[in-house]
């Protein structure tokens, strides 16, 4: 993968993280509650990580086989998620969405942890 392609994918992960954190903080009434919800149930009320990932990848035209390959190539050293699919294209899209969601969840966890620390210090 070329450096500029990797930079683009990394930028998308950061953009997704920022957007997820911003909306989760609003929906969950603060970073501390958003962090707790993200850790407790990332697909639950206020976070909806899988739905968020699906929409984000679609908005950035990465919800196809070529986009899936770009994501998987960018994160080739990460463990392959277990997915069940009948066709190779479907498997690629499911695997890349899970890898992307896992990265966004991890980055959001870190960002919300920092935000909740600052929230606690401000009160």
Can you give the residue range of the structural domain that contains 13?
3-116
Q: Are 38 and 24 in contact (CB under 8 A)?
A: yes
Whether 66 shows a pLDDT value over 60: the answer reads yes
Q: Give percent of the chain above pLDDT 70.
A: 97
The mean pLDDT of 4-19, rounded to a whole number, is 94
Question: Does residue 123 form part of some domain?
Answer: no
Q: Are 44 and 34 in contact (CB under 8 A)?
A: no
Question: Does residue 72 form part of some domain?
Answer: yes
pLDDT value of residue 1 = 78
Least confident of 53-57, 77-81, 100-104: 77-81
| pLDDT tens sequence across 17-63 | 999 999 999 999 999 999 999 999 999 999 999 999 999 999 999 99
Question: Does residue 52 form part of some domain?
Answer: yes
Question: Does residue 112 form part of some domain?
Answer: yes
3-state secondary structure the chain: CCHHHHHHHHHHHHHHHHHHHHHHHHHCCCHHHHHHHHHHCCCCCCCCHHHHHHHHHHHCCCCCHHHHHHHHHHCCCCCCCCCCCCCHHHHHHHHHHHHHHHHHHHHHHHHHHHHHHHHHHHC
How many domains in the chain? 1
**Among 76, 112, 83, residue whose Cα is nearest residue 97:** 83
The mean pLDDT of 82-105, rounded to a whole number, is 95
pLDDT value of residue 123 = 55
Q: What does pTM read for this prediction? A: 0.89
Question: Does residue 122 form part of some domain?
Answer: no
Residue with tokens 């998308």: 12
Question: Does residue 17 form part of some domain?
Answer: yes
Question: Does residue 121 form part of some domain?
Answer: no
pLDDT value of residue 100 = 96
Question: Does residue 109 form part of some domain?
Answer: yes
């Amino acid at each position: 993968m070329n450096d500029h392609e990797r930079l683009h994918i990394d930028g998308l992960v950061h953009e997704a993280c920022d957007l997820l954190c911003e909306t989760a903080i609003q929906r969950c009434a603060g970073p501390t509650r958003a962090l707790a919800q993200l850790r407790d149930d990332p697909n639950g009320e206020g976070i909806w990580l899988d739905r968020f990932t699906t929409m984000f990848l679609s908005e950035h035209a990465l919800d196809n086989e070529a986009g899936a390959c770009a994501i998987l190539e960018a994160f080739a050293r990460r463990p392959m998620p277990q997915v069940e699919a009948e066709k190779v294209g479907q498997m690629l899209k499911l695997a890349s969405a899970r890898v992307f969601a896992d990265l966004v969840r991890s980055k959001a966890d870190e960002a919300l942890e920092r935000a909740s620390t600052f929230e606690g210090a401000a009160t």
